[in-house]
Every structure is written in C-alpha cells, then in structure tokens.
Amino acid sequence: MSLHNCRVVLVRPKIAANLGAAARAMRNMGLTDLVLVSPEADAADPRARRLATHGEAILDQARVVGDLAEALADCLFVAATSARTGGPFRRQSVGFPDQAMPRVVECLSQGPAALVFGPESSGLTNAEVAACHFLIHIPADPTCPALNLAQAVAVCLYELRCCWLRTSGTVLPPAPPAPYATQERLFANLRAALEEIHFLYGPKADALMHALRHLIVRARPSAMETDVLLGLARQIRWYVEHHRGP
C-alpha cells in the first residue's frame, strides 16, 4: 500500500505560492498526485517554484482539469475540507483529520482516494462538498477558523501519513523498560548515593525512597535511561568520596 494512490485536488486555487507550498508538503509526506481544477494560479509561476523546494516535479506533473467530477472520476473515496460546518451540506459525515484518514488509508490498497481543498477566498461550494463522501474540519480557533490553503494541505497530509505509518506497522515502538533486576540495581545504588549526601536520612528515609522508586517506575525507564541514572548515582558517590571533609 502506497501513499502515491492518494490524490490532492486543489479547486480553483488563486495564489501561486500556495501551489508551491502544497507541492512541498506533498513531497514531504510521500504523495505525488496533484490535480488542479480550473486554477487561476499557474504551477509554472516563479512564486510557486520558490516555495516548492524538492517538490518541483510534482508541479511539473500536476494535471489541470475543468471540473471536480473529472478530477475524482476514478476515486473510491473522497474527503473534502472546510473551515465551515453545519447546515444541510456540512453537518453530516464531518470529522477532524485524524477521524477521516483511516477511511482514506483503507481505500489506498484498492485504488485512488482524494483529498479536496477549496480556493483561498471562499473554500468549496455546497455543491462541491455534497459531491464528496466525507468532510474534514480542522479544529482551529473559532475566531479565525480558516487556515491558509497550503497549511491545510500540510495538516491533512501529516495526519494521513501518521495513520498510514500506524497501519503499515512502520512506527518505531517505544523502547521497553529495563528488566526488574536492572531497576533493582539502580535503586540500590541510588539509595546508597542519596544516603551519603543525607538526602535519605533518619526515620523518613524508607518512605522517601519508596516514593522515589514509584516516581522512577512510573516513567518506565529503558535500559539506556537506567544506565544514565546509575551513572548519576556513581558520580554522586565519587564526589562525596573525593570531597569528604576530615
């Protein structure tokens, strides 16, 4: 399954710089298929090229079509994007980017899917939203809900890539916690060091050490992190030994 099957469709884009920035975001996230529907901006504009760093080939290969239906004809799933929600056309099948992307990723092994973005000044029309299967709403501050076109593309493609990585099992798992015996060795060395500087002292020493143990255990330290704490304990003891008064 490849993200190359996911198409980015920009409807009537007006600003050339946004074409370039969107192409760069696509290149960053592993997408290549860009379709422009009745664009006012030109992908060959120098302002687009300046912002398309490493994404120039995507601009070169971008297809220009006359209407949205032509851009989506072979797609199995289509998600529109909008800063506005509610009303008869924008209140059904609407969700945040991370809610939409599992459905996009599910389709990619079977055929193309598309993410559709409207023009900078007005966004997608109700008819264009209605022609799509799902509406993505990026939860920006309600006092300024409309993102720049290229920023919206970047947010959605980031969520898409994260979902795709989780599905394909290529996300690096967290390091496992250090074995019990290693942790116990750490606690013994740490206790000795803290006793030498009198951080642990008197009748409350056991209770305080118990609290420290649980604080460290909750952090689930890896073997490498446990070694760092062991080194800290050893350095405390070394310092005390070499700076002990007469």
Statement to judge: residues 110 and 230 lie in one domain:
no
pLDDT score at 71: 97
Please give the mean pLDDT across all residues of the chain: 91
End position of a domain, from candidates 168, 192, 213:
168
Element (H, E) at 114: strand 113-117
CA distances from residue 171 to 101, 164, 166, 167, 202 in whole angstroms, order as listed? 16, 9, 6, 9, 48
Does this model's pTM top 0.95?
no
pLDDT score at 94: 82
CATH code of the domain containing 221: 1.10.8
Residue 29 in tokens: 């996230």
pLDDT score at 194: 94
Task: Determine, yes or no, domain membership for 174.
Answer: no
Write out pLDDT tens, residues 201-230: 899 999 999 999 999 999 999 999 999 999
Q: Quick one: CA dihedral 21, 23, 27, 31, positive or negative?
A: positive
Residues 6+ apart with CB under 8 A from 201: 195
pLDDT score at 238: 93
pLDDT score at 145: 86
End position of a domain, from candidates 148, 168, 188:
168
Q: Counting every residue, how long is the chain?
A: 246
Statement to judge: residues 136 and 195 lie in one domain:
no
pLDDT score at 146: 87
pLDDT score at 170: 65
Residue range 1-29: mean pLDDT, rounded: 95
Residue range 143-147: mean pLDDT, rounded: 89
Write out pLDDT tens, residues 39-95: 999 999 999 999 999 999 999 999 999 999 999 999 999 999 987 766 565 556 788
149-168 helix and 16-29 helix, angle to the nearest 10 degrees: 10
Q: Are 115 and 161 in contact (CB under 8 A)?
A: no
Domain containing residue 228 = 180-242
Number of domains composing the chain: 2
Statement to judge: residues 236 and 137 lie in one domain:
no
Q: Taking the CB of residue 134, how many other CB atoms lie within 10 A of it?
A: 19
pLDDT score at 41: 96
Burial of 153 by CB count in 10 Å (0-12 exposed, 13-18 middle, 19+ buried)?
buried
